[in-house]
Structure 1
Amino acid sequence: MVRSCLSFIAIALLLGCTSKQESDLIQGYSKKVTYHKQLQKTEKIQLYQDNVTKVMLTATYLYTPDFEDHDTRDEVFIVGLHSEGQAEGALNSEGNSLTLNGKRPKEIKALSPEDERLKTLSFVTPWSRYYLVTFPHESSKKITLLFESTSYGKGALHFAKVAKYVLTKEAL
């Protein structure tokens, strides 16, 4: 009798712990899986002058694993740039450079603020300019995007074609 009462109470407690809110949370996450995956492939740097942010650069790596032995697709990023006090402030303007593992981009295309690709990104600000930047294929699993400004210095963004915790010391 005591065991059956305890079993009934335990089952009631377990059923009471699952709620509609939990399933709503899972459904909400499922709807935004793309958003969260993009967030994992987004990095940000800030360049300072006198402890004031002068340049903020965000980059989202648009790589999706292909699992082919000879994947030769170009490396594509959406790069957002906000530059304080510079009228030109463009990614490809004089004094700014962007390289991927030391290689210059094949193409830099400015995106309009209404571009559909920006709607899926996790970090978009109205004061930044956005660009679709294409680099030649990089065989390395770890890649470094380096932004250099003659006025404010340089900053590096680190990306990986596999999960970063999978990389070994040799790949780093």
Structure 2
Amino acid sequence: MVKLSILLIAIVLLVGCTSKKQEDLMQAYNEKINYHKLLQKTEKTQLYQDHETKVMLTATYLYTQNFEKNDTRDEVFIVGLHVNNESYGNLNSSEYKLTLNGQVPKEIETLQLNDERLKDLSFVTDWASYYLVTFPHEPSKKITLVFESELYGKGILHFAKVAKYVLNKEVF
């Protein structure tokens, strides 16, 4: 009888503690769910000179899956640009070129650091400049964002409209 009551008390304590921790973990995850979803769609490239990073570009693909057959929405990214030894790089300058599957952007909008759209992004820093970049619709499920610099070469970022593991691995 004593053994049974000790066993029941131990089980109740373990179940009570476990569920509390699980609830806390789920609440913490749910509070940051947008952050985690955007993190999965974020890629980074660095351009080097003499083994030193000169330019770092991060891009977050803002695509949300849509099950319409004729989805012709534009392709939208938030792009962060940090140029070493400069206070701010400028994506609109002639020394940089950004293309999506060979297409130039329709629009590049400069974002302020306090912009609401940046709050759930990873890699947001005070020394980078951020842009909302809109490209024409791309029908392909696999898209390639290419960033080129006249001085430092180019970096290639791969994105997908479906989970990358669903696509042919040879492309990435």
* Alignment TM-score, normalising by the size of structure 2: 0.88
What is the rounded CA distance, in whole Å, between the counterparts of 2:40 and 2:72 in structure 1?
23
CA offset at residue 65 of structure 1? 0.7
What is the rounded CA distance, in whole Å, between the counterparts of 2:41 and 2:21 in structure 1?
29
Q: Is the 8 A contact 2:88 2:128 kept in 1?
A: no
Look up the SS of the partner of 2:127 in the other structure: coil
Q: What is residue 65 of structure 1 aligned with on the other side?
A: 65
Q: What is residue 90 of structure 2 aligned with on the other side?
A: 90
What is the rounded CA distance, in whole Å, between the counterparts of 2:87 and 2:15 in structure 1?
61
Unpaired stretches in structure 2, ≥5 consecutive residues: none
Describe the shift of the 1:88–1:60 C-alpha distance in structure 2 as closer, same or farther (beyond 3 A): closer
Describe the shift of the 1:116–1:25 C-alpha distance in structure 2 as closer, same or farther (beyond 3 A): same
Q: Is the 8 A contact 1:39 1:123 kept in 2?
A: no
Q: What is residue 112 of structure 1 aligned with on the other side?
A: 112
- Identity value in percent: 68
Look up the SS of the partner of 2:45 in the other structure: strand
What is the rounded CA distance, in whole Å, between the counterparts of 2:145 and 2:99 in structure 1?
6
Look up the SS of the partner of 2:57 in the other structure: strand
What is the rounded CA distance, in whole Å, between the counterparts of 1:134 and 1:155 in structure 2?
19
Q: Is the 8 A contact 2:89 2:128 kept in 1?
A: no
Instruction: Work out the number of aligned pairs and report it.
Output: 172
Is residue 44 of structure 2 the alignment partner of residue 44 of structure 1? yes
CA offset at residue 116 of structure 1? 1.0
Describe the shift of the 1:14–1:170 C-alpha distance in structure 2 as closer, same or farther (beyond 3 A): same
Cα RMSD for the two superposed structures: 2.4
The superposition leaves residues 68-119 of structure 1 with CA deviations (integer Å, 9 ceiling, x where unpaired) of 0010000000000001135773112121100000110011111111111111
Q: Is the 8 A contact 1:57 1:80 kept in 2?
A: yes
Q: What amino acid maps onto 1:132 in structure 2?
A: L
Look up the SS of the partner of 1:113 in the other structure: coil
Runs of 4+ in 1 over 6 A off after TM superposition: 4-7
Describe the shift of the 1:17–1:149 C-alpha distance in structure 2 as closer, same or farther (beyond 3 A): same
What is the rounded CA distance, in whole Å, between the counterparts of 2:111 and 2:103 in structure 1?
22
Q: Is the 8 A contact 1:81 1:128 kept in 2?
A: yes
Unpaired stretches in structure 1, ≥5 consecutive residues: none
Q: What is residue 80 of structure 1 aligned with on the other side?
A: 80
* Alignment TM-score, normalising by the size of structure 1: 0.88
Once the two structures are superposed, the pairs formed by residues 151-162 of structure 1 within 5 Å of their partners are 151-162=151-162
